[in-house]
């Protein structure tokens, strides 16, 4: 009761401060209104604030008076009980029964106090607060969302035709503006068993599957220190599904389909271009592994034009686009961009 009275007194003090502030504001706006420096609506609002402050202060004073009366009554209760005991001449047995009743009430009060405590299952930060003021809520209502930033993970939406090649434990490169200039390493931790339909930014309906990627612990610590990475940030990922060392590679732009559906490139042979059918292996967004048809050091036209024909000369004065050499000593990882929109989850 003493704490309740103290709280009521503090509310009265706060109400007096609010009333004083509202009165000053009203006086200022009255002067401004007389000088037509403030609108009638603003002046009316200040009048309303002043009246509301007076009403709130009066209510706070009534609450304070009620709490003080209850405190006096509470303080008198032990004396009243003792007088009642003396008057009735209660026996030891009655005292014992009352003691047991009091212990039962104490036990119930302690149980209510225990239930009133909320303990977080993790030591983290509040990510979202759904309830911020006093109210009665049903059981199970969400009050807070709490997360550990040390447990950040990536939730990627991968096309269903690509996710079939993804396995748990596959290495992942996590990059993007939120990560910084140096990509972070991760591993595929979970692949959801069910997909969902989503419309892409181009208006195409796609079937996607959620894939959870966990950061490598040291990389996550580095990124959080450098970039202040948080929850629901957007990143990009590359999932390594296959890898081939010492592969012969050409740019993807150098390939085109033949009439029979096979892949071909325009290779340089003795100063002229020739259509060469190739057998491809791993393929990512920029490079393609060539298993048959070319050898290290061969030159190919990087982006052949449609008017470039088989046997055309590449002599002086003629240009059909830049040529690039096949590289035979570079490790090529079969990587695919899984999604343009990723979400970090805590």
Contacts of 160-166 with CB under 8 Å at 24 or more apart are 160/195, 160/207, 160/208, 160/209, 162/336, 162/338, 163/191, 163/195, 163/209, 163/211, 163/338, 165/241, 165/242, 166/191, 166/211, 166/239, 166/241
Q: Which residues pair with 274 in a beta bridge?
A: 267
The mean per-residue pLDDT over the stretch 215-243 comes to: 87
Length of the chain: 346
**What pLDDT digit, counting tens, does each position of 86-118 carry?**
777 667 777 888 899 999 999 999 998 888 787
Task: Give the residue numbers spanning the domain of 179.
Answer: 147-241+338-345
CATH of the domain at 268: 2.40.420.20
Angstrom distance (rounded) from CA 271 to CA 273? 7
**Number of domain units in the chain:** 3
Token pair in block for residue 307? 């008017």
Q: Is residue 48 part of a domain?
A: yes
**What pLDDT digit, counting tens, does each position of 125-170 carry?**
888 888 888 888 888 888 888 888 888 899 999 888 888 888 898 9
Angstrom distance (rounded) from CA 23 to CA 51? 9
End residue of a domain, out of 65, 97, 114: 114
Strand 327-337 with 236-251, pairing: antiparallel
Q: How far is CA 304 from CA 292, 309, 345, in A?
A: 20, 9, 44
Q: Say yes or no: 19 and 105 in one domain.
A: yes
Please determine, for residue 345, whether its predicted confidence score (pLDDT) is greater than 50: no
Q: Say yes or no: 75 and 96 in one domain.
A: yes
Q: Say yes or no: 254 and 169 in one domain.
A: no
End residue of a domain, out of 93, 114, 135: 114
pTM of model > 0.85: no
Angstrom distance (rounded) from CA 157 to CA 108? 50
Q: Say yes or no: 216 and 159 in one domain.
A: yes
pLDDT for res 192: 92
């Amino acid at each position: 009761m003493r704490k309740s009275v103290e709280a009521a007194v503090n509310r009265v003090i706060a109400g007096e401060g609010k009333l004083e502030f509202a009165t000053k504001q009203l006086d200022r706006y009255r002067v401004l209104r007389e000088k037509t420096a403030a609108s009638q609506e603003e002046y009316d609002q200040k009048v309303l604030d002043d009246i509301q402050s007076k009403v709130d202060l009066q209510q706070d004073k009534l609450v304070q008076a009620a709490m003080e009366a209850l405190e006096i009554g509470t303080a008198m209760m032990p004396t009243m009980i003792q007088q009642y005991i003396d008057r009735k001449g209660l026996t030891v047995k009655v005292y014992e029964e009352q003691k047991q009743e009091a212990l039962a009430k104490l036990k119930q009060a302690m149980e209510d106090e225990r239930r009133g405590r909320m303990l977080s299952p993790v030591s983290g930060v509040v990510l979202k607060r759904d309830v911020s003021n006093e109210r009665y809520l049903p059981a199970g209502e969400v009050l807070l969302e709490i997360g550990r930033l040390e447990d950040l993970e990536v939730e990627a939406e991968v096309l269903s035709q690509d996710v079939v090649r993804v396995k748990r434990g596959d290495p992942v490169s996590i990059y993007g503006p939120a990560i910084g200039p140096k990509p972070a390493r991760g591993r595929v931790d979970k692949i959801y068993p069910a997909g969902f339909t989503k419309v892409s930014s181009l208006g195409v309906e796609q079937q996607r599957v959620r894939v959870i990627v966990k950061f490598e612990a040291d990389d996550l610590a580095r990124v959080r220190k450098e970039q202040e990475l948080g929850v629901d940030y957007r990143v990009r990922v590359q999932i390594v599904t296959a890898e081939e060392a010492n592969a012969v590679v050409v740019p993807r732009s150098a390939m085109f389909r033949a009439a029979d559906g096979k892949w071909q490139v325009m290779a340089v042979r003795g100063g002229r271009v020739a259509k060469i059918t190739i057998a491809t292996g791993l393929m990512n967004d920029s490079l393609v592994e060539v298993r048959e048809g070319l050898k290290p050091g061969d030159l190919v036209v990087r982006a052949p034009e449609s008017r470039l024909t088989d046997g055309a000369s590449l002599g002086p004065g003629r240009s059909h686009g830049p040529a690039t050499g096949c590289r035979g000593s570079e490790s090529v990882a079969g990587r695919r961009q899984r999604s343009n929109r990723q979400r970090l989850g805590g």
